[in-house]
Amino acid sequence: MKLKNLFRQGGDEPAPPETIEIRLPPEQVLPLMLNEHIERLGPSHPKTVKVGHQLAVVLAHKPEHHAKALDLFRQVMSTKADTLGETHPETLAVMAECAALLHVDGQPTTAEELWRYVFEVRKRDLGPAHPDTLSAACGLARALNALRRAPEAAALLRHVVDHRRRKLGKKHPDTRTALHNLAVSLLDTAQPAEAESICRLLLRTSGPREDDEHPLVDVRANLATALYLQGKREGAESEFRAVLAEQERRSGPEHRHTLATRHNLAKVLNDLGRFEEAESLLRAVLSGRARALGEEHLDTHRTRDNLATVLVARDDGREAEAVRLLRRCLTGYRAQLGEDHPTTRTTRDRLAMLTDQSA
């Protein structure tokens, strides 16, 4: 006797065709949900705020949507401050996310203000050794490094390394990350020998899977910088070329880390008197950073600055282009760093000297 398949829709009738589900990406779905929540529940409802926060996090990973992400983070931050209080942990957490994106977006001054507030409140409420306080200290240190205030950043990071070593152990990923960040600060405080020592220690003691979670190529890149600052140009060039090849393989030629390494390699080549190679690399970096970060991003201006230096060094009559580049840099430095920042002052003096020479 033949048994019926009772699990088939409609007894012996054929099942309908399978429906193919089309899923929209989060950056398209979440705005629809946000608008619906705003209309139905209001802009301050917890569900509306939650969706707004989710959308901000998604957009933060897309450079072309950073402005919208920052606007959403600010709205969420303001709503949480009004409903929960400015020092509530949830408010501080969104402030930290906003500060981190401001740093990536090339706005270190505003990032530093937010990170400092989060750090001071957490230090007061949770204590100086709490993991959330130490995390805020790391964020503040990154902003200070970007503002060329490396001594302050190094002091903060030594504090973080000390506490994490004692609480987590010297091999813990968070300890090693803080140690690497300290090496970065030391590079900007004229202590490249100690930075080199830290980088070599991190490379020597790395675990078998560490490169997947905390790419050692970044450590090697900072080792190259440490060598460069100690006058070891050939060694620095070799390291930078190896790092560049690995970054291009992993992340592609337009990734911000790849562009940074190409930029640093150009500086080495300039010092070695290989101006044509340096100029070619810097023009490629300038084009890439303008596309990826924007024309007014601080890193884009710094690339223009270095390209102007190479053009002057070539001494082949292109001072007029160097002057145009420096004028644009000066406008950007004034807007983002302030009139009295050392970088602004130095650029202003270089521009005046170059203009006088051209005249």
Task: Label residue 18 by pLDDT band (50, 70, 90).
Answer: low
Query: Per the structure block, which two tokens stand in for 263?
Result: 């930029």
User: Does pLDDT of 290 surpass 90?
Assistant: yes
Task: Label residue 4 by pLDDT band (50, 70, 90).
Answer: very low
Q: Give 118's contacts (C-beta < 8 A, 6+ positions apart).
A: 92, 95, 96, 99, 136, 139, 140
pLDDT of residue 223: 96
pLDDT of residue 56: 93
Lookup result for tokens 């490396």: 150
pLDDT of residue 286: 96
Q: Which stretch of 4-13, 112-121, 324-333 has the lowest confidence by average pLDDT?
A: 4-13
CA distance 91 to 121: 11
Render pLDDT for 171-210 as a digit per residue (tens, 0 to 9). 899 999 999 999 999 998 889 999 999 999 999 988 765 5
Closest residue by Cα to residue 306 from 348, 254, 347: 347
pLDDT of residue 293: 87
Q: What does the mean pLDDT of the chain come to?
A: 89
pLDDT of residue 244: 95
Q: Give 160's contacts (C-beta < 8 A, 6+ positions apart).
A: 134, 137, 138, 141, 178, 181, 182
User: Does pLDDT of 16 surpass 80?
Assistant: no
* For range 153-175, the mean pLDDT: 93
Q: How many CB atoms lie within 10 A of CB 21?
A: 5
Backbone angles phi, psi at 152, to 5 degrees: -65, -40
Q: How far is CA 273 from the centre of its chain?
A: 31
Render pLDDT for 133-145 as a digit per residue (tens, 0 to 9). 999 999 999 999 9
Q: How many CB atoms lie within 10 A of CB 272?
A: 14
User: Does pLDDT of 358 surpass 90?
Assistant: no
User: Does pLDDT of 126 surpass 80?
Assistant: yes
For the packed helices 150-168 and 131-146, what is the interaxial angle rounded to 10 degrees? 150
Please calculate the CA angle 285-111-131 and round it to the nearest 5 degrees. Answer: 110
Closest residue by Cα to residue 244 from 218, 268, 269: 218
Query: Per the structure block, which two tokens stand in for 140?
Result: 């503040």
